[in-house]
Structure 1
Amino acid sequence: MSTSIDQIRNIGIIAHIDAGKTTTTERILYYAKFLHRPGGVDEGTTATDFDEEEAKRGITIYSAAITCKWNGHTINIIDTPGHVDFTAEVERSLRVLDGAVVVFSAMEGVEAQSETVWRQADKYNVPRICFINKMDRIGASFERTFEEIQKRLRGNPVALQIPIGEGTTSTGDSFSGVIDLIKMQALFYDQESMGDQFEVQEIPEAYLEKAQEWRAKLLESVAELDEAVLEQYYETEDIAEDVIVRLLREATLKGDLQPTFCGSSLNYIGVQPVLDGVTSFLPSPLDRPPVEGINPQPKKRGGEAGGHETRGPSVDEPMCGLVFKIQADKHGDLCFMRVYSGQLKSGSRLLNPRTGKKELVSQLWRVQAGAREKVETDSIDAGDIIGVIGPKEAVTGDTLCEIQHPILLETISFPETVISMAVEPESSADRKKLEDTLQKLSRQDPTFKAVANEETGQTIVSGMGELHLEVLRNRMQKEFNLSVRVHKPRVSYRETVTAAVEKEVEFNRPSANGNMYFKVKLRLEPFKGDKPISIKSQLKPNELNPELEKELMETLRLGVDGGGQVGFPLMNVQFVVLDAQSREGETSDVAVEAATSEALHGCIMDAKIQLLEPIMKMEVVTPDEFRGNIQADLSSRNANVLNSEWRGDLCVMEVEAPLSQLFGYSTQIRSLSQGRASFSMEPLKYAAAPQSVLKEMIG
């Protein structure tokens, strides 16, 4: 029997690297009786870090889906990576999830990637609860982390728990349990049962006053959500428990508040209340608005495609779903899919509106991290997440829907790649194998791109960072038995123009079938919009035959993919069609294409090109004694220290630096700080590169 939709929770565990996401997921699976014994990240024995590369490095690389039961609810969990190189895994997971648990380290507080995942959750309007983890570590501070969520993330956390003690001390004030501020009771977890058993006691007298202060804050936050409750609170100075939970849920679903818990996943303290929080405060698919899309096909009685469509989370609606991940498999690629409406059945044929082709769904699998279970009923209802085998051409972000009721959902957008390197097979016999392998990897990973450079004969692969490309190289070796040679990573530069330039081209050539003629005038100008390149026409209606105009715009669109003068993709530019002239009987698609291509490349070659380079946003954390050396090194790398603040006895610097200067930085910072400093970085923007770089490239 399938779970009713209101009892389903689709959640992600998101955080900065090393905040404890995977350990928290492992404890959740243990308490939900999915695991007989929890594994450990350091031992490489966790359920969700099942890949050999993850176990070896002790980090999450691939988002892992897993399903468990808690208090009559089915919880589909996706454990996501924290490393910036794999931020696309977070992006695609949040696109299809209904809620999230954001994990913070009480020792480090809000970190760089914490801000990134919070912004990603904001982008998709994902309600969330917070878990302040690692309360047992030296230097842990619940209040400091709580305030950072308010200030740095502009969140509105509401504490439902506070810790009993903090860190590990010799004075007896070590972290030992949590205080439930709704029920006003203390929870102490049994270490022998690995936290599965816990005792409910009265709040220790030493913490009673503090607990009352925090409960007052909780009640004030809740009372402000409802006028009737506010009046009652002024009269009685209390609010009933069921009213607190109801109002917190309503505010969480709207994104107004984030219920906040605390504990230590490693030491088995405080994880079950987070599970309770998932079922009590985070949304079911029914609590989310209907998914929106467009009808990709013209209406039967005439009219254009593009009409607005919605699908509610009901089995009575036409089926539609979104493919958010593709995983290689010996028996065929496994597509991870969120079913938004209707019922997905094995053996059914669905439409892929992007390609206009039909895809077969041959099998449905319930994915459990590295394992999988066949779906016994051979059907999945709206609101669920499932693994599908069968689709051949679907890629990440594709919609699959009923053929009779087409809908195209919004796809998933991913950040631009920032680093490239050349790869070549060990032997020339493996060239075709390399091409096929890169094609498969590109289909599975939307932030990995492979392009053959026709001029140099090299194959250039691009990704999100050195670690990202290193992991993919290892995958080629292990999964595809393909050895490759790599050359030094290159930065993915972009080109733009600094001033407008116009070009008029008249194509007038005799041919065997008569004269060919077309005249076009283009302008290339600086432009900043939502997309890197904008193409628009200033032609008057009916000035040009619609078919010829379509060919002109298509030639422009394909032509800009060739890049700028140096060969890098164009960015922040606009091509404008100023004028076009044709002649009856002489203008053909060939003439339009030839004139347009010549005008486009003429604009590019005549323009004053500016090279853009990727700038990284960095957070550098160092003990004070090494700060001077690290700042001097950053300065030598053309980095700009924007701000610095203190986090305990550590100095945290906010830095912007060009990626081209950061290769090998992880080794250098360890050397400068005796291994005690750390850093994290993420792509921020593209900015003008030094003129010397452009001169060197042009020669």
Structure 2
Amino acid sequence: MGLQEEISRRRTFAIISHPDAGKTTLTEKLLLFGGAIHVAGAVKSNKIKKTATSDFMEIEKQRGISVATSVMGFEYGGHKVNILDTPGHQDFAEDTFRTLTAVDSVIIVVDAAKGVEAQTRKLMEVCRMRNTPVIVFINKMDRPSKHPFDLLEEVEEELKINVRPLSWPIGNGPSFQGVYNIFEQNLNLFEASKQTLGESISFADINSSELEGYIGDDASAVLREEHEFVEGVYPEFEVEDYLAGNLAPVLFGSALNNFGVNELLDCFLKIAPKPQASNTDLREVKPEEDKFSGFVFKIHANMDPNHRNRIAFVKICSGKFERNKNYLHVRQGKNFKFSSPTAFMAEKKSIIDEAFPGDIVGLPDSGNFIIGDTLTSGEKMSFKGLPSFSPELFRYIENDDPMKSKQLAKGIDQLMDEGVAQLFTSSFNGRKVIGTVGALQFEVIEHRLAHEYNAKCRYEPINLHKACWIRSENAAQLADFKKRKHQYMAKDKQGRDVFLADSSYMLQLAQQNFEDIEFHFTSEF
């Protein structure tokens, strides 16, 4: 199969949502339908032995939440499908933002009872910035929920995008009987089964009197009436509008009970985009180009805690990636050869010989990579759009066990490279400051240091408002600023100057008094 054919059959997407909307459960069922796993796991507490495939970190299994993006790939219907399951919790939004740079489309999961929630709105803004096509999956229809038309109106208003239902639920809660697939024009009735793929009954003509035999008189009358209303009110579905990011197809179902998941997967494969072009600091890179290029969008330490290994997740943007071939690490200006590149099923890895645009490849890393690094066949360019965001919560981090200082230093170093949080070293007293965008990240760092690095840390309070990166063409003014604000100056992990403002007033004053200094709130400038 040639490069063009390999690109055309790939679909790389992220699943995003507010916490508890059922995102990781949906991922499990997509893997189940794709034949990648045979028993779906539960995303609950550690009392259930079989946990979700994508939640493989110890803290994820204990808490029943996702705290890191996981990557899973499988073959289905002649397509190579790459799913990235992202954290829903807002404290891990930065990981999700970066993940969205590595995908070509997105599935947004909405809880049918709660509707659109705050975190979903934020994530949709990122999709809109990048014109990423989105499909909306309204989940948990087997529970008492809002009326489908109310949900559609809410999605339009809250996410600011036009919608078009491609499937329609028959009842909800205890009366939920399945979905009518408008896109394929057939009826699918499922038996609730959390573990296996229930048999579906296909049914072509919604106006046939046989419909009553399947779902009863009342449900049939309601379905016909609502279907007629859908066809009259919502625009015809045009794939071009979806691909341009102007229209969101909506499907209904229950991931936990396998309702509507197969329809979602089949519809997605038909309409979702193949790998798209990416922007660099020099030019636009197209997937069809012969020469390889890709970028690191995530680093994960200790995927196998027994071996203390690090994996750099690389999104392939163009050409063919080959095992044991030399590639240029643009930032370091060195060539690297990778003997054991891997493909993923969450933490399960298999070594691959080649990969194509749209694929996510794991490269064993001994500390050479940071997030945003570019690999190419020789061209010196860097992919754009992978910033670190200015943290808003800060604490000093101290060693709580003098015998384990090396383990702590190594643990902090590796976790910061992952982008879990950011590390600043104070120029005033040399103390280490951890900055995060969410409070839960401090717990995750402490837990992972203890369980993965056998190191104990403790936090001490520090009163700071915001961290911002500074630079200036005016060397004298920059030197003057750093001297005056010495107590509030720090260096980040890359050695760049960072100003740690202790209040919004102090930051505002600094910006007014030092006009030649640029204050940046993301690390990409």
Q: TM-score, normalised by structure 1?
A: 0.64
Residue 436 of structure 2 is aligned to residue 463 of structure 1:
yes
Which among 564, 569, 572 is matched to residue 485 of structure 2? 564
Structure 1 position 558, deviation (Å) = 7.7
Q: CA RMSD in A?
A: 2.9
Aligned length: 477
Q: Deviations over 1:441-481 (max 9, x none)?
A: 11112x51223335445332121222111011110001100
Residue 169 of structure 2 is aligned to residue 163 of structure 1:
yes
Residue 248 of structure 2 is aligned to residue 258 of structure 1:
yes
SS at match of 1:611: helix
Structure 1 segment 23-34 matched on structure 2, within 5 A:
23-34=25-36
SS at match of 1:487: strand
State the match for 2:52 in structure 1.
46
Q: 1:391 to 1:480 in 2, by over 3 A?
A: closer
State the match for 1:419 in structure 2.
393
State the match for 2:293 in structure 1.
320
State the match for 1:436 in structure 2.
410
State the match for 1:535 in structure 2.
472
Structure 1 segment 241-252 matched on structure 2, within 5 A:
248-252=238-242
Structure 1 position 53, deviation (Å) = 0.6
State the match for 1:303 in structure 2.
none
Structure 1 segment 218-229 matched on structure 2, within 5 A:
218=234, 221-222=235-236
Q: Deviations over 1:219-258 (max 9, x none)?
A: xx12xxxxxxxxxxxxxxxxxxxxx5xxx32221111211
Q: 1:557 to 1:13 in 2, by over 3 A?
A: farther
Residue 396 of structure 2 is aligned to residue 394 of structure 1:
no
Structure 1 position 328, deviation (Å) = 1.6
Structure 1 position 391, deviation (Å) = 6.5
| d(CA) in 2 for partners of 1:569, 1:144 | 50
Structure 1 segment 255-654 matched on structure 2, within 5 A:
255-285=245-275, 288=276, 290-294=277-281, 308-314=282-288, 316-329=289-302, 330=307, 332-375=309-352, 378-390=353-365, 392-403=367-378, 405-445=379-419, 447-453=420-426, 455-456=428-429, 458-488=431-461, 490-494=462-466, 533=470, 535-536=472-473, 552=475, 564=485, 567=488, 610-611=505-506
Q: Please tell me whether Structure 1 or Structure 2 has the larger radius of gyration of its CA atoms.
A: 1
Structure 1 position 333, deviation (Å) = 2.0
Q: 1:411 to 1:210 in 2, by over 3 A?
A: closer
| d(CA) in 2 for partners of 1:155, 1:558 | 48
Structure 1 segment 49-128 matched on structure 2, within 5 A:
49-128=55-134
| d(CA) in 2 for partners of 1:480, 1:93 | 26
SS at match of 1:430: helix
Higher strand proportion: 1
Q: 1:186 to 1:431 in 2, by over 3 A?
A: same
SS at match of 2:488: coil
| d(CA) in 1 for partners of 2:351, 2:242 | 35
SS at match of 2:96: helix
Structure 1 position 360, deviation (Å) = 3.2
Structure 1 position 107, deviation (Å) = 0.8
Amino acid at match of 2:315: R
State the match for 1:301 in structure 2.
none
Amino acid at match of 2:30: I
Q: Where do 5+ consecutive residues of structure 1 fail to align?
A: 169-173, 223-243, 295-307, 496-530, 538-551, 571-596, 614-684, 687-699
| d(CA) in 2 for partners of 1:561, 1:281 | 54
C-alpha contact 1:162 1:178 (8 A) present in aligned 2: yes
C-alpha contact 1:494 1:611 (8 A) present in aligned 2: no
* Of 122-131 and 105-114, the range deviating more from structure 2: 122-131
| d(CA) in 2 for partners of 1:365, 1:340 | 17
Whose relative contact order is higher, 1 or 2, with alpha carbons under 8 Å and at least 6 apart? 2
The percentage of aligned residue pairs carrying the same residue is: 26
Q: 1:282 to 1:135 in 2, by over 3 A?
A: same
| d(CA) in 1 for partners of 2:35, 2:177 | 24
State the match for 1:575 in structure 2.
none
| d(CA) in 2 for partners of 1:198, 1:493 | 55
Structure 1 position 115, deviation (Å) = 0.5
Q: Where do 5+ consecutive residues of structure 2 fail to align?
A: 212-219, 492-496, 509-520
C-alpha contact 2:391 2:466 (8 A) present in aligned 1: no
Structure 1 position 388, deviation (Å) = 1.4
Structure 1 position 437, deviation (Å) = 2.0
C-alpha contact 2:68 2:95 (8 A) present in aligned 1: yes
State the match for 2:152 in structure 1.
146
| d(CA) in 2 for partners of 1:97, 1:15 | 15
Q: 1:560 to 1:335 in 2, by over 3 A?
A: farther
| d(CA) in 2 for partners of 1:199, 1:444 | 46
Structure 1 position 67, deviation (Å) = 0.8
Q: 1:558 to 1:28 in 2, by over 3 A?
A: farther
Q: 1:332 to 1:55 in 2, by over 3 A?
A: closer
Q: Deviations over 1:9-49 (max 9, x none)?
A: 00100011111100111111111111111111123611111
C-alpha contact 2:22 2:109 (8 A) present in aligned 1: yes
State the match for 1:213 in structure 2.
229
Structure 1 position 392, deviation (Å) = 3.8
C-alpha contact 1:178 1:186 (8 A) present in aligned 2: yes
Structure 1 position 184, deviation (Å) = 4.1
Q: Deviations over 1:611-650 (max 9, x none)?
A: 359xxxxxxxxxxxxxxxxxxxxxxxxxxxxxxxxxxxxx
C-alpha contact 2:312 2:364 (8 A) present in aligned 1: yes
C-alpha contact 2:465 2:504 (8 A) present in aligned 1: no
| d(CA) in 2 for partners of 1:332, 1:346 | 19
SS at match of 2:416: helix
Please identify runs of 4+ aligned residues in structure 1 that moved more than 4 A. 454-457, 531-534, 555-563
Q: 1:159 to 1:491 in 2, by over 3 A?
A: farther
| d(CA) in 2 for partners of 1:417, 1:309 | 31
Structure 1 position 134, deviation (Å) = 1.1
Structure 1 position 50, deviation (Å) = 1.1
SS at match of 2:225: helix
C-alpha contact 1:422 1:460 (8 A) present in aligned 2: yes
C-alpha contact 2:328 2:377 (8 A) present in aligned 1: yes
| d(CA) in 1 for partners of 2:117, 2:87 | 14
Q: Deviations over 1:595-617 (max 9, x none)?
A: xx9xxx9xx9xxx993359xxxx
| d(CA) in 1 for partners of 2:489, 2:159 | 35
C-alpha contact 1:31 1:196 (8 A) present in aligned 2: no
| d(CA) in 2 for partners of 1:40, 1:191 | 15
C-alpha contact 2:407 2:454 (8 A) present in aligned 1: no
SS at match of 1:56: helix
Q: TM-score, normalised by structure 2?
A: 0.84
Amino acid at match of 2:456: S
SS at match of 1:200: coil
Structure 1 position 55, deviation (Å) = 0.9
C-alpha contact 1:189 1:269 (8 A) present in aligned 2: yes
Structure 1 position 138, deviation (Å) = 2.2
Q: Deviations over 1:41-89 (max 9, x none)?
A: 1236111111111011011111110012222111100000110111112
